[in-house]
Structure 1
Amino acid sequence: MLDLALFGFILLVIAIGFRRPFVWVLAYLYVDILAPGKMGYTIMPAIQISLITFCAAFAGWMIADPKKGARFTLRQGIMVALLFYCWWTTSNADFPVEAGEKWEWVWKAMFFAIFLPLTITTKLRLESALLVMLLSVAAIVISAGIKIVLGGGGYENKLFFVNDNSGIYESSTLATVAICSIPIIIWFTKHGTIFPPDWRVKLFAVALIFACLLIPVGTEARTGLVCIAALMMLALRDVKRRLTFIVAGATMVFVALPFLPQSYYERMATLGSTDGDESASTRLAVWGWTLEYAAENPTGGGFDAFRGNRFTYDLPVRQEQGNTTAVEYQEVVDEGRAYHSAVFEMLGEQGWPGLFLWLWLHALGLWHMERIRRKWRKKQGNGLADGEEWVAPLATALQYAQIIYLIGSLFQGIAYQPYVLMLIGLQCALWSYCKRLDSAAIAKTRAGLEDRKPALDAASPAMP
């Protein structure tokens, strides 16, 4: 029954796309984030729905989209360079088979992020894409939130639609994505037009934000707690009454503490120290190995190069002996451990050139969103941006989402996370949209000056 429902919905969306080809772009966003192909048991796993919607989105744009206003930005060029560089490292990878498996989904995610801004040339398309992405994440977050409330959650518990621990369904990744989506949810409560922000939209948004905050608690993902802290710090930039905000936030935390399970306290306690935590100790050892590897292989080892690592480290083991605690250091030998950091993931797999391109891509995005935020806020203040009041807040929301992702990515290997690459594509689309409006305003001003010039010349007194 579930297969038929999902299959019927996909068929309906594809049928609508024959009248509005941009719907196929939205369909791919939905399929790539939610992964309905993993939910069914017979039809959905067999029809390769991700590939079908991917091809339909690109073909629809090539054949039927007018392409008016489409621009190719510098950041898209950086992604193209990074894509070709990843192809080169894959062809020379230390582990060709494993690298090829990762390349199969990385190239598609990067290609679509490059392609996405070319399809988004209007405010309605930008909002539609953002809404589909948000609701796709919301479907996962809401269902997991219900299970957390009813069952209490827990580390590595099965809380999601699919029995999978990869992609967005990995607990730490979902915690990061959920928290970085909160600024976008808030934007929709103020500037959304597809669903006008009435009391129903705002009530749903409040419930969704609560569900997003539940994900780090229910999954006991330590990265999620760091992301929440980053969100609170960013919120201080925009709130008018900062002291009130801090007091209210602290009050909510203290109220929630008694309801948290003991396992959550025990897991969060490992944030302050690596002693006794094998996971944290392993990460430090892997990062040290990656730096040494990059020194010997500056161009990287291709995808999954971490499979060649091997190292030893001393792990403190505490034993209770009456009223005293004895600490013994046990030597641990480990190998083939993942990077657990997007920065070291890029360094180990793509070397220094790949890491430079990745950092440049994100740094430029933060700068572009900051420029839009400042410039369009000033325009609104001068009354020069009627009908475009949504631009600066959206730039802020996308910037905050990116910052939260970057902080979360320091502790997990999500350098190529498709949802974040989609957000980068939307940033590029917003940048192009603002550039196009600026160009139109400049052209209009010049045309007005040229129209006034003959009148000014005729009114000016003649020289003797």
Structure 2
Amino acid sequence: MLDFFLLAFVGVFLALGFKRPFFWVLVYIYIDVVAPQKVGWTIIQSIPLSLIAFAACFGGWLFLDSKKGSRFTLRQGLIVALLVYCYITTQAADFPVEAQVKWDWVWKALVFAAFLPLTLRTKLRLEAAALIMVLSLGTIVINGGIKTVFGGGGYGTLALLVREDAGLYEGSILSTAAVATVPLALWLARHGTIFKPDWRVWAFVAGLILSCLLIPVGTAARTGLVCAAVLGVLMLRTAKHKFLLAGGGALMLVAALPFLPQSYLERMQTLSNTQGDESASTRVQVWQWTLDYVEKNPWGGGFDAYRQNSFTYWTAKREGTPPNVRVVYDQVTDQGRAYHSSYFEMLGEQGWLGLGLWLWLQLLGVWHMERIRWMFRRGEDGKDCWQRGMATALQQAQIVYLIGSLFVGIAFQPFIYMLVGLQCGLWSYVRRTTRQPDKARFQRPGETEPGPA
């Protein structure tokens, strides 16, 4: 029955695409985020839904959709450049078989990110893409939030829609994506036209945001706690009542502490002591190994180059209860450990050039969104216009991602590249529909502007 429902839902979307090809773009976003072929149990697992939607959205745009207003931006060029460079490093990878496995999904994420802005020609399309992304992630997040409330959480134990600890279904990755989605959900509640803002929309968004913030608790992901704190600081920048928001947030945190699981609190305490936590200590060792590796291999080792690392280090743990506390040192030997950081992931796999392209792509997005914020100041009615609001939401989401990326290897996470695609689409739309101010013309003293001929 579950397989039938999922196939019927996807089938309706695909059928709508014959009248409006943009629906095929939306169905691909849904499939790529939720992965319904992994949620089902029987026939749906044998159907290449992702490939079908991927071919449909490209073919629909190429042969059926209008190209009016489509523009290719600098950031899309950077995505293509990164795609080509990753292909080159894959051919010379230290682990060619494993590198090919990762390349098989990375190239689709990069190609779709470069393609998506070409389809986002109108405000309605920008909103629809953002809505599908939020609702698709909400399918996973709300499920996890409910299970967290009823005590089904824990590090590596929160049961989501699929029995798989990879991609968006991995705890730290899902926590980062969930927190990054909060600003976009708030933008839809304020400026949405598909579901016009009313008490029902706000009630759903409130529940969704609560679920997003519960995911770091349910997964016991330290990255999620850091991301939530960063988002809180970012939201203070645009809040009208900053002190009220900060005070309310602090009060809610204090009120929530008694209800948090003891296992979660103990895991969060390891944020201040990396030597006492084997997971954190391993990350530091992997990062040091990566720096040593790129000294000899400045162009990187291709995907999954981390498989060749090996190191030995000491961990310190406190045992006993005060005042009888002693420190116990253990020697740990490890090898083949992942980077646990997008920055070191890019550096180790793609070298300095790949890291430079990736950082340029990300930081340029933050700058472009800031420029849109400045272009659209507060409107005549005292409320922010939708362009400024969307730019703010996408900027906040990207900064949260960049902070979360410090501790999680998500340099090529498809969901994040969809956010990049939304940014490119918004930037292109604003540049096309907004009159740019004339450049200043410097004049000599006494010189007058030439009149019309």
TM range (shorter): over 0.9
> Is the 8 Å Cα contact of residues 370 and 395 (structure 1) preserved in structure 2?
yes
Residue by residue, what CA displacement relative to the aligned partner does 1:351-386 show, whole Å, maximum 9, x if unpaired? 0000000000011000000000111116x35x9xx9
- Of stretches 310-319 and 211-220 in structure 1, the one that deviates more from structure 2 is 310-319
Matched residue, 2:48: 48
- AA partner of residue 269 (structure 1): Q
Matched residue, 1:405: 401
CA distance in 2, matches of 1:48, 1:168: 19
Residue by residue, what CA displacement relative to the aligned partner does 1:165-195 show, whole Å, maximum 9, x if unpaired? 1100001111111111111111111100000
Where do 1:243-322 residues align within 5 Å? 243-320=243-320
- AA partner of residue 204 (structure 2): F
Matched residue, 2:8: 8
CA distance in 2, matches of 1:30, 1:299: 35
Q: TM-score, normalised by structure 1?
A: 0.92
> Is the 8 Å Cα contact of residues 285 and 311 (structure 1) preserved in structure 2?
yes
Where do 1:19-418 residues align within 5 Å? 19-320=19-320, 323-377=323-377, 380=379, 389-418=385-414
**Aligned pair partner of 1:422 in 398, 418, 422:** 418
Give how far 1:322 is off.
8.9
Give how far 1:143 is off.
0.8
- Of stretches 311-320 and 212-221 in structure 1, the one that deviates more from structure 2 is 311-320
CA distance in 1, matches of 2:89, 2:384: 43
Matched residue, 1:445: none
- AA partner of residue 183 (structure 2): P
Any idea what SS the aligned residue of 2:312 has? strand
Give how far 1:241 is off.
2.0
> Is the 8 Å Cα contact of residues 25 and 57 (structure 1) preserved in structure 2?
yes
Q: Which runs of 5+ in 2 are unaligned?
A: 439-450
Any idea what SS the aligned residue of 1:12 has? helix
Any idea what SS the aligned residue of 2:150 has? helix
Give how far 1:247 is off.
1.2
CA distance in 1, matches of 2:154, 2:327: 28
- Of stretches 4-13 and 353-362 in structure 1, the one that deviates more from structure 2 is 4-13
> Is the 8 Å Cα contact of residues 148 and 158 (structure 2) preserved in structure 1?
no
> Is the 8 Å Cα contact of residues 148 and 159 (structure 1) preserved in structure 2?
no
CA distance in 1, matches of 2:402, 2:306: 21
Residue by residue, what CA displacement relative to the aligned partner does 1:282-308 show, whole Å, maximum 9, x if unpaired? 000000000000111000000000000
Give how far 1:329 is off.
2.2
> Is the 8 Å Cα contact of residues 106 and 412 (structure 2) preserved in structure 1?
yes
CA distance in 2, matches of 1:85, 1:413: 19
CA distance in 2, matches of 1:322, 1:370: 51
Where do 1:445-464 residues align within 5 Å? none
> Is the 8 Å Cα contact of residues 231 and 400 (structure 2) preserved in structure 1?
yes
CA distance in 2, matches of 1:377, 1:168: 35
Q: Which runs of 5+ in 1 are unaligned?
A: 443-455, 459-464
- AA partner of residue 255 (structure 1): A
CA distance in 2, matches of 1:208, 1:152: 18
CA distance in 1, matches of 2:352, 2:157: 37
Give how far 1:318 is off.
3.5
> Is the 8 Å Cα contact of residues 312 and 331 (structure 1) preserved in structure 2?
yes
Any idea what SS the aligned residue of 1:18 has? coil
Give how far 1:388 is off.
9.1
CA distance in 1, matches of 2:11, 2:241: 49
Any idea what SS the aligned residue of 1:377 has? coil
Matched residue, 1:450: none
Give how far 1:139 is off.
0.8
Figure out how many residues of one structure are paired with residues of the other and give that number.
Answer: 441
CA RMSD of the aligned region, Å? Answer: 1.9
- Of stretches 48-57 and 309-318 in structure 1, the one that deviates more from structure 2 is 309-318
Matched residue, 1:451: none
> Is the 8 Å Cα contact of residues 343 and 411 (structure 2) preserved in structure 1?
yes
- AA partner of residue 350 (structure 1): Q
> Is the 8 Å Cα contact of residues 299 and 351 (structure 1) preserved in structure 2?
yes
CA distance in 2, matches of 1:406, 1:388: 25
Matched residue, 1:449: none
Give how far 1:44 is off.
1.2
- AA partner of residue 34 (structure 1): V
Matched residue, 1:461: none
CA distance in 1, matches of 2:5, 2:241: 48
Any idea what SS the aligned residue of 1:318 has? strand
> Is the 8 Å Cα contact of residues 89 and 302 (structure 1) preserved in structure 2?
yes
Any idea what SS the aligned residue of 2:427 has? helix
- AA partner of residue 405 (structure 2): S
CA distance in 2, matches of 1:370, 1:191: 19
Q: Structure 1 residues 322 and 243, CA, compared in 2 at 3 Å: closer, same or farther?
A: closer
> Is the 8 Å Cα contact of residues 377 and 384 (structure 2) preserved in structure 1?
no
Alignment of 1:434 onto 2:430: yes
Give how far 1:331 is off.
1.8
